[in-house]
Amino acid sequence: MALCSNKNRRGFTLVEMLVSMTIFMTFVGILISSYSSIIKAQKEANDYRAMYTEARAVFDTLIGELREGMVDYGNSEYGNACNSFITTMTENLLLVSKDETKKKIWLDKTDPAHSILKIETAGGQTKSLNSGDVSVTDFEFKIYPLADPYSPQNVDKNQYQFHPFVTIFVSFEKEKVTGEPYKVDFQTTVSSRIYNQVYETPECP
């Protein structure tokens, strides 16, 4: 039986080992990079989902307040309450419910880096709608008509005989891990479910 000669035993050369290690390290680097990208994308998706969920909840709360109340045309902040006509638009959305509870919705910009949408009742109780993670960057609304169609002062004026509705626009923002913001906008028009005047009109001179 012939024995194999040492000359026939061939191993890897140093160059082959270096090439193999380079290929292996490159492959591992690609895997790590891909895994990191997937983790980052997943985190961003979760952050955006959380922001959208909160933003949607805030917007639904606004819709509920508008449906269950009506524009407080008689509020002095809107100008001439005697005629139930809005002569001055403010940054506050003023509502009144069926039981005559007054509410004010406004955007608190005390902290420029994080604005909070708030609701205040006549008793002075204030509720923040968004958390510290999500900022409301814009809050706009448009009221139509500008006169209360259910006021005795306006029932004979055809230009005001439309059921009141409010168009609202709200923009939300949350900072990404990269420092850039996520943004989402909501807009809708809501009609009140109240079909009569729920506050007393003062007698006009």
Predicted local distance difference test score (pLDDT) of residue 69: 92
Predicted confidence band of residue 191 (pLDDT cuts 50, 70, 90): very high
Instruction: Cite the beta strand spans of 68-115 per DSSP E.
Output: 69-71, 93-97, 102-108
Number of structural domains in the chain: 1
**Is the model more confident about 171 or about 18?**
171
Within a domain: 198: no
Within a domain: 1: no
Contact indicator for 169, 138 with CB cutoff of 8 Å: yes
Within a domain: 135: yes
pLDDT of 35 higher than 80 = no
Within a domain: 129: yes
Predicted local distance difference test score (pLDDT) of residue 11: 65
Range of the domain at 149: 26-191
pLDDT of 5 higher than 60 = no
Predicted local distance difference test score (pLDDT) of residue 128: 95
Percentage of residues of the chain with pLDDT beyond 90: 43
The amino acid at 151: S
**CA distance linking residue 97 with residue 42, whole number of Å:** 43
pTM of the model: 0.78
Within a domain: 11: no
| Residues 110-143: b if buried by 16+ CB within 10 A, e if exposed | eeeebbbbbbbeeeeeeeebbeeebbbbebebeb
Within a domain: 13: no
Contact indicator for 192, 98 with CB cutoff of 8 Å: no
Model pLDDT for residues 64-110, shown as the tens digit of each residue: 999 999 999 888 888 876 768 888 889 999 999 988 899 999 999 99
Within a domain: 19: no
Predicted local distance difference test score (pLDDT) of residue 201: 67
Within a domain: 203: no
